[in-house]
Amino acid sequence: MTQSTENRIPLDDLMVFHQLARSLNSSFDLDTILRTILEQMERLITADMWTLLMMDDSRTELYYAIASGNGESSLRDLRVRVGEGVAGWVAEHAETLIVPESEDDPRLSQTLNAEQRIVRSVVAMPLRGRKGIQGVIEILNPRASQMSDYTIAFLHILCDHAAIAIENAQDVAHIQQLTITDDTTGLYNVRHLYKVLEQEVDRSHRHGKPVSLAFIDLDRFKLVNDAHGHLIGSELLGRVGKRLKQIARPKDMCFRYGGDEFVVMMPETTATEALSAVNELHHQLIKTNFRMSNGLDLTASASVGLATCPPENAVHAIIGTADARMYAVKSNGRGKVRGA
């Protein structure tokens, strides 16, 4: 029997499905995927605002990853706890929530932007992937005339495609992160150091922006391995790496160069600024008490050499100069910082 015309999916909508699937599967860039999702939502439904919230790493809060409509800029710093408001309820229960304008739902009062614009109605849908809830799509104050069963079903399909694309992008990003990360310390590895330092040196040449580098070597680290074993030695390296990341400036990048050697790269930092910043970092590092898993308390002394581009004009030159200055410190008593 031939299917009735009323039950067929319109050709225009089939094309939307086709274009959406192609767009979502043609990129592993998360920002591109999220923007594609939002563009499709805007085509489907007229509303005051469309938002896409993502789960943060702790899985206890949602953040506004992307938004479109009135007041979108005011959402950038807002967070929504799982279980609170419309988006939080959807994330907690993994269910679609539709609150029409005529309904008095207390969750609406918790769904406000920074300008305190009241949300009268909302459609919120979970982005369910194979690993759980990835996020929530919210449509704020949609036009009631457009909220048909067909449109809601269409949105559900969009969310299913979106969740798959988001997880694929996150998986690719995770694999890429593993290739540039040192297993022991969690810092960037030496391969990544050479890549980003080359970019910074090139930027220095083109735009006159200085870049400084600190080469850090732990003093007498072999004695830790000899006295307490290599497992404790590796644990100490990991804790030192984590501590360096904590005490470095937000714009600086920390790397494990190899063995007990670390590098801190400081973009747009002059030699004078670098010496001041690294002296403070060195002070914070050597006064840190590291409690090992076996209850042992250890400290870490370090010798540090600094170099800056300019005057150093190449990647190997800046690393070589910082390394030479670090060894000069080791030859003269250890535990100090040496600049130019």
* Stretch 38-55: mean pLDDT: 82
* Amino acid (one-letter) located at 117: R
Among 71-85, 232-246, 315-329, the range scoring the smallest mean pLDDT is: 71-85
Q: CB–CB of 332/268 below 8 Å?
A: no
* Stretch 60-73: mean pLDDT: 76
**pLDDT attached to residue 245:** 95
Asked if pLDDT for residue 103 goes beyond 80, the answer is no
Cα torsion angle, 243, 246, 248, 253, sign: positive
**pLDDT attached to residue 243:** 97
Asked if pLDDT for residue 41 goes beyond 80, the answer is no
Asked if pLDDT for residue 23 goes beyond 80, the answer is no
Query: What are the φ/ψ torsions at residue 5 (nearest 5 degrees)?
Result: -60, -35
Q: CB–CB of 67/51 below 8 Å?
A: yes
Structure confidence by residue, pLDDT tens digits, 186-221: 999 999 999 999 999 999 999 999 999 999 999 999
| Residue 149: pLDDT band with limits 50, 70, 90 | confident
CB-count exposure of residue 335 (10 Å: 0-12, 13-18, 19+): middle
Asked if pLDDT for residue 2 goes beyond 60, the answer is no
Cα torsion angle, 262, 265, 269, 270, sign: positive
- Give the chain's domains with CATH numbers: 5-177 (3.30.450.40), 190-338 (3.30.70.270)
Asked if pLDDT for residue 98 goes beyond 50, the answer is yes
Asked if pLDDT for residue 59 goes beyond 80, the answer is no
Three-state DSSP class for residue 9? coil
Average pLDDT, the chain: 86
Residue 117 C-beta-side C-alpha neighbours within 13 Å: 14
**pLDDT attached to residue 108:** 73
Q: CB–CB of 68/97 below 8 Å?
A: no
Query: Is beta strand 61-69 parallel, antiparallel or unpaired with respect to 79-81?
Result: antiparallel
Among 48-62, 178-192, 318-332, the range scoring the smallest mean pLDDT is: 48-62
Two structure tokens written together for 59: 């899985």
**pLDDT attached to residue 114:** 43
Structure confidence by residue, pLDDT tens digits, 241-266: 999 999 999 999 999 999 999 999 99
